[in-house]
Structure 1
Amino acid sequence: MRIALRFAARELRSGVAGFRIFLACLALGVAAIAAAGSTAEAFRQGLSSQAREILGGDVIFTVEQRRFTADERDVFSAFGPTAYSVRANAMAETSAGLRRLVDVRGVGDEYPLVGDVVVAGAPSLALALMPQAGVPGAAVEQALLDRLGLRLGDQFVINRMPVVARAVLVSEPDRLGRGFALGPRVLLRASTVERASLLGEGGLFGESVRLVLPLDSEPKAVIAAVRQRFPDASFEARDRSEAAAGAGRLIDQLEYFLGFIGLASLVAGGLGVAGAVSAYLDERKRSIATLKALGAEGAFVRDVYLIQIGALAALGILIGIIVGAATPLVIGRLAADSLPVPALFAIYPQPLARAAIFGVLAAAAFSLWPLAKARTTPPSAMFRQELATRPRIGIEAIGAIVAGIGLATLAVLSAPSRLAALAMIGGTIVAFFALWGLGLASAALAGRLRGLTRGAVRLGLANLSGPRSAARTASPAIGLGVALLTTIILIQSSLLAQIGEVAPRTAPSMVFTEIPGDRVAEFDAVIARSMNEPAADRYTRLPLITGRITRIHGRPVDIETIDRDERWAFDQDLILSALDGEPVPSGTTAGRWWTADYAGPPLIAFEQDAARAAGLGVGDTVTLQVLGREIDARIAVLREIDWGGFGANFAVILNSAAVEGANPRHVAIARASPAQEETVTRALARDFGAVNVISVREQLEQAATLFDRLALAIRGAAAVASGSGVLVLVGAIAAGARLRAREAATLKVLGGTRRQILTAYLVEYGLVGAIAGTAGVALGTAAAWPVVTLVFDAAWRVDWISLFTLIGGTTALAAVGGGVAGLVALSRRPASILRRSLS
Structure 2
Amino acid sequence: MGTNRLKGKTHFHWILKMAWRDGRASGKRLLLFIGSIVLGIAAVVSIQSFSENLKDNIALQSKALMGADYRIDSNQPPSTKVQAIIDSLGGANAKSIGFPSMAVFPKNGNTKLVGIRGVEPGYPFYGDLETNPEEAAQTYHKENTALVDATVMLQFNLKVGDSVKIGNTMFSIAGSLVSAPGSNGVSASIAPPIWIPYQSVQSTGLVQTGSRIRYEYYFLANAKQNLEELDKVVDPQLDVENADLDTHLSTGQRLGRNYANFGNFLNLVAFIALLLGCVGIASSVHIYIKEKLRSVAVLKCLGATRNQTFLIYLVQIAAMGFLGGVLGVLAGIGLQYVFPSLLQDYLPFELEIGFVPQAVIVGLVLGVLMSVLFALSPLMGTWFVSPLQVLRVQEDNRAQSLETKFLVLGAIVLFVFGFAFWLLGRWDFALYFVLGILFVFLVLGGVAAGFMRLVKRFFPTQWGFAARQSILNLFRPNNQTLVLVLAIGVGTFLISTLYFTKDVLLSRTAVEATAKTPNLVLMDVQTNEKEAAAARIKASGMEVLNNIPIITMRMHQIKDRPVRELILDTTRTVNRWILQHEFRVTYRDYLANSETTVAGTWPADNQADVIPISLSENVAKDAKVEVGDRLVFNVQGVLMETVVAHIRTVDWAQMQINFSIIFPSGILENAPQFHVLTTNAANPEASADLQRKLVKQFPTVSIIDLRQVLQVVEGILGKISWVINFMAFFSILTGIIVLIGSVRNSKYQRIKESVLLRTLGAKGNQILRISALEYLFLGLLGTVLGVLLALCCSFLLARFVFDSVFVPSWQPFVIVLPLITLLVVVIGLWNSKTVISSPPLAVLRKETT
Could you tell me the TM-score, scaled by structure 2's length? 0.90
| Counterpart-to-counterpart distance in 2, 1:241 and 1:636 | 43
Preserved contact between residue 530 and residue 683 of structure 1 (Cα < 8 Å): no
Distance 1:307 1:71, change over 3 A: closer
Counterpart check, 1:59 vs 2:70: yes
- For residue 110 of structure 1, what is the aligned residue in structure 2? 122
- For residue 408 of structure 1, what is the aligned residue in structure 2? 417
- For residue 696 of structure 1, what is the aligned residue in structure 2? 706
Counterpart check, 1:130 vs 2:142: yes
2:647 pairs with one of 635, 638, 648? 638
User: 1:30 deviation in Å?
Assistant: 1.3
Preserved contact between residue 592 and residue 636 of structure 1 (Cα < 8 Å): yes
Counterpart check, 1:222 vs 2:230: yes
Counterpart check, 1:82 vs 2:93: yes
**Farther-moved stretch of structure 1 (709-718 vs 200-209):** 200-209
Counterpart check, 1:299 vs 2:307: yes
Equivalent residue pairs, number:
830
| Counterpart-to-counterpart distance in 1, 2:618 and 2:81 | 39
Instruction: Summarize deviations over 1:25-67 as a string: whole Å, max 9, x none.
Output: 1221111111111111111111111101101212121110334
1:464 pairs with one of 457, 474, 477? 474
- For residue 674 of structure 2, what is the aligned residue in structure 1? 665
Preserved contact between residue 491 and residue 735 of structure 2 (Cα < 8 Å): yes
| Counterpart-to-counterpart distance in 2, 1:97 and 1:817 | 58
- For residue 550 of structure 2, what is the aligned residue in structure 1? 543
Residues 762-801 of structure 1: matches in 2 within 5 Å? 762-801=772-811
User: 1:778 deviation in Å?
Assistant: 0.7
**Farther-moved stretch of structure 1 (451-460 vs 140-149):** 140-149
- For residue 591 of structure 1, what is the aligned residue in structure 2? 600
- For residue 277 of structure 1, what is the aligned residue in structure 2? 285
Counterpart check, 1:27 vs 2:35: no
User: 1:786 deviation in Å?
Assistant: 2.3
Instruction: Summarize deviations over 1:528-566 as a string: whole Å, max 9, x none.
Output: 4434444xxx32322231424653553644797788xx9
| Counterpart-to-counterpart distance in 2, 1:471 and 1:693 | 59
**Farther-moved stretch of structure 1 (440-449 vs 676-685):** 676-685
- For residue 240 of structure 1, what is the aligned residue in structure 2? 248
Instruction: Summarize deviations over 1:675-695 as a string: whole Å, max 9, x none.
Output: 543353244235422111122
Preserved contact between residue 293 and residue 385 of structure 2 (Cα < 8 Å): no
Counterpart check, 1:605 vs 2:617: no
- For residue 49 of structure 2, what is the aligned residue in structure 1? 38
| Counterpart-to-counterpart distance in 2, 1:664 and 1:71 | 25
Distance 1:738 1:623, change over 3 A: same
Preserved contact between residue 256 and residue 416 of structure 1 (Cα < 8 Å): no
Distance 1:580 1:344, change over 3 A: same
| Counterpart-to-counterpart distance in 2, 1:295 and 1:121 | 83
1:618 pairs with one of 623, 627, 642? 627
Instruction: Summarize deviations over 1:290-333 as a string: whole Å, max 9, x none.
Output: 01223333222111111111111111112112222232246569
Preserved contact between residue 740 and residue 831 of structure 2 (Cα < 8 Å): no
Return 5+ residue gaps in structure 1 as ranges. none
Counterpart check, 1:189 vs 2:180: no
Preserved contact between residue 29 and residue 269 of structure 1 (Cα < 8 Å): yes
Residues 464-483 of structure 1: matches in 2 within 5 Å? 464-483=474-493
Distance 1:680 1:266, change over 3 A: same
Counterpart check, 1:72 vs 2:83: yes
User: 1:433 deviation in Å?
Assistant: 1.4
| Counterpart-to-counterpart distance in 1, 2:295 and 2:503 | 55
Preserved contact between residue 605 and residue 653 of structure 1 (Cα < 8 Å): yes
- For residue 19 of structure 2, what is the aligned residue in structure 1? 8
| Counterpart-to-counterpart distance in 2, 1:642 and 1:351 | 42
1:829 pairs with one of 806, 814, 839? 839
Distance 1:477 1:227, change over 3 A: closer
Return 5+ residue gaps in structure 2 as ranges. 1-10
Preserved contact between residue 36 and residue 734 of structure 2 (Cα < 8 Å): yes
Secondary structure in 2 aligned to 1:453? coil
Preserved contact between residue 512 and residue 669 of structure 1 (Cα < 8 Å): yes
Instruction: Summarize deviations over 1:374-398 as a string: whole Å, max 9, x none.
Output: 2113233454233544421466762
Give the AA of the match of 2:37: L
Instruction: Summarize deviations over 1:235-275 as a string: whole Å, max 9, x none.
Output: 12221123368632331122111111111112211221012
Counterpart check, 1:681 vs 2:691: yes
- For residue 441 of structure 2, what is the aligned residue in structure 1? 432
- For residue 804 of structure 1, what is the aligned residue in structure 2? 814
| Counterpart-to-counterpart distance in 2, 1:351 and 1:235 | 41
Secondary structure in 1 aligned to 2:727? helix
- Percent identical among aligned pairs is 23
Give the AA of the match of 2:413: G
Instruction: Summarize deviations over 1:641-688 as a string: whole Å, max 9, x none.
Output: 121336551112234555454322222333332354335324423542
Secondary structure in 2 aligned to 1:622? strand
| Counterpart-to-counterpart distance in 1, 2:285 and 2:116 | 65
User: 1:523 deviation in Å?
Assistant: 3.4
Preserved contact between residue 372 and residue 394 of structure 1 (Cα < 8 Å): no
2:319 pairs with one of 306, 311, 323? 311
Give the AA of the match of 1:298: R
Preserved contact between residue 514 and residue 667 of structure 1 (Cα < 8 Å): yes
Preserved contact between residue 189 and residue 712 of structure 2 (Cα < 8 Å): no
Distance 1:71 1:501, change over 3 A: closer
User: 1:430 deviation in Å?
Assistant: 0.9
| Counterpart-to-counterpart distance in 2, 1:614 and 1:718 | 41
Give the AA of the match of 1:101: L
Give the AA of the match of 1:472: L
Give the AA of the match of 1:545: T
| Counterpart-to-counterpart distance in 1, 2:709 and 2:341 | 31
1:151 pairs with one of 146, 150, 159? 159
Distance 1:15 1:758, change over 3 A: closer
Instruction: Summarize deviations over 1:156-194 as a string: whole Å, max 9, x none.
Output: 321111221122222213434995464232111111012
Counterpart check, 1:175 vs 2:183: yes
Instruction: Summarize deviations over 1:191-212 as a string: whole Å, max 9, x none.
Output: 1012222223442212101111
Give the AA of the match of 1:268: L
| Counterpart-to-counterpart distance in 1, 2:482 and 2:510 | 42
Counterpart check, 1:351 vs 2:359: yes
Counterpart check, 1:734 vs 2:760: no
**Farther-moved stretch of structure 1 (757-766 vs 90-99):** 90-99
2:726 pairs with one of 709, 716, 725? 716
| Counterpart-to-counterpart distance in 2, 1:711 and 1:104 | 31
Distance 1:812 1:829, change over 3 A: same
Give the AA of the match of 2:548: R
Instruction: Summarize deviations over 1:615-637 as a string: whole Å, max 9, x none.
Output: 32211223434313444421111
User: 1:736 deviation in Å?
Assistant: 1.0
Give the AA of the match of 1:212: L
Distance 1:717 1:568, change over 3 A: farther
- For residue 111 of structure 2, what is the aligned residue in structure 1? 99
| Counterpart-to-counterpart distance in 1, 2:442 and 2:606 | 63
| Counterpart-to-counterpart distance in 1, 2:186 and 2:775 | 55
Secondary structure in 2 aligned to 1:21? helix
Secondary structure in 2 aligned to 1:723? helix
Preserved contact between residue 39 and residue 328 of structure 1 (Cα < 8 Å): yes
> What is the aligned-residue RMSD (CA, Å)?
3.0
User: 1:820 deviation in Å?
Assistant: 2.9
| Counterpart-to-counterpart distance in 2, 1:224 and 1:13 | 64
- For residue 444 of structure 1, what is the aligned residue in structure 2? 453
Secondary structure in 1 aligned to 2:336? helix
| Counterpart-to-counterpart distance in 1, 2:190 and 2:609 | 39
Give the AA of the match of 2:126: V
Give the AA of the match of 1:369: S
